[in-house]
Amino acid sequence: MKNRNNLVASVLGTSMILILASIGVHTVSGHERRLYTIGDQDYLFVVGSMNEPALVDDKSGVEVFAWRPDPTDPMNSQANGTKSIEGLTLKTDISAGGKNMTLDLEPAFSDPGHYEAVFYPTVPTTYSYTIYGDINGTAFRDTFTCRPAGESEPVQDNSTVTISDGVTRIGQSGGFGCIESRADVSFTEQYVSNYELQQMINNQGGTSNSTTSTSMP
């Protein structure tokens, strides 16, 4: 009987997850929320890395959830009056380690209001995602930067900040973690990233060439 009850609970739990996914209910903890007035309308953007906690060499990316907020609870993406926003054309500039890459933010499959741009992070460092595009006839551009491990989550900020012409931030809360090394969670052997392996190969090649040059008459 106990095993049967456990089985029923497991099935019900799985069914609930599928139902929540199908109706677009998202748990996006570990992401940063910003509330904007763009033109004459309010927008709630929730931004972070895909598959958090994101680890080096794993599939990750930038993801943006866009909602028309509930006026009675505008920072809450799960409030009754919140509506997902489809049809946005957005791009993201990813900055890390002094390098930059631009990707299109594509609509996620069967998930209205969810946009993503996949990439594979190669080093554990600070990543910044600049989101931009034309929204409501207004040029939008703002940057979201990851929060290093151990840094406390900022408190909600409801101050009014002018981002650009026609764009005002009226709320901000939360944050998302930076890309982490897999070395701390590797088992059984110490993990060596693809980048570290390439550096080892390059260094070994340089040592070999130097030795060969020295030994030549």
Is the pLDDT at 16 greater than 80? The verdict is: no
Residue 19 and residue 103: Cα distance in Å, rounded? 31
Lowest mean pLDDT among 11-25, 55-69, 116-130, 171-185: 11-25
* pLDDT for 215: 46
Question: Which class in CATH covers the domain with range 28-203?
Answer: mainly beta
* pLDDT for 5: 52
The whole-number average pLDDT for the span 38-67 is 96
- Is residue 82 within 8 Å of residue 67, measured between CB atoms? yes
Lowest mean pLDDT among 62-71, 103-112, 174-183: 174-183
* pLDDT for 19: 39
> How long, in residues, is the chain?
217
In the chain, what are the domain boundaries?
A: 28-203
Is the pLDDT at 113 greater than 80? The verdict is: yes
Is the pLDDT at 28 greater than 70? The verdict is: no
Q: Hey, what are 205's tokens?
A: 């090649």
**What residues are paired with 36 via a beta bridge?**
43, 169
* pLDDT for 190: 85
* pLDDT for 167: 98
Q: Which residue has the tokens 């946009």?
A: 115
Looking at per-residue pLDDT, the higher value among 152 and 176 belongs to: 176
Q: Please measure the distance between the N-terminal and C-terminal CA atoms of the chain and give it in whole angstroms.
A: 84
Residue 158 and residue 155: Cα distance in Å, rounded? 10
- 116-144 pLDDT per residue, tens: 999 999 999 999 999 999 999 999 999 99
Q: Which residue has the tokens 């741009």?
A: 117
Q: Are strands 167-174 and 32-38 parallel, antiparallel or unpaired?
A: antiparallel
Q: The whole model's pTM is what?
A: 0.80
Is the pLDDT at 15 greater than 70? The verdict is: no
Confidence of residue 3 (pLDDT cuts 50, 70, 90): low
* pLDDT for 204: 85
Residue 103 and residue 157: Cα distance in Å, rounded? 29
Confidence of residue 150 (pLDDT cuts 50, 70, 90): confident
The whole-number average pLDDT for the span 152-166 is 93
- Is residue 83 within 8 Å of residue 56, measured between CB atoms? no
Q: Are strands 90-96 and 167-174 parallel, antiparallel or unpaired?
A: unpaired
- 162-214 pLDDT per residue, tens: 999 999 999 999 999 999 998 888 888 888 899 888 988 999 876 555 544 44
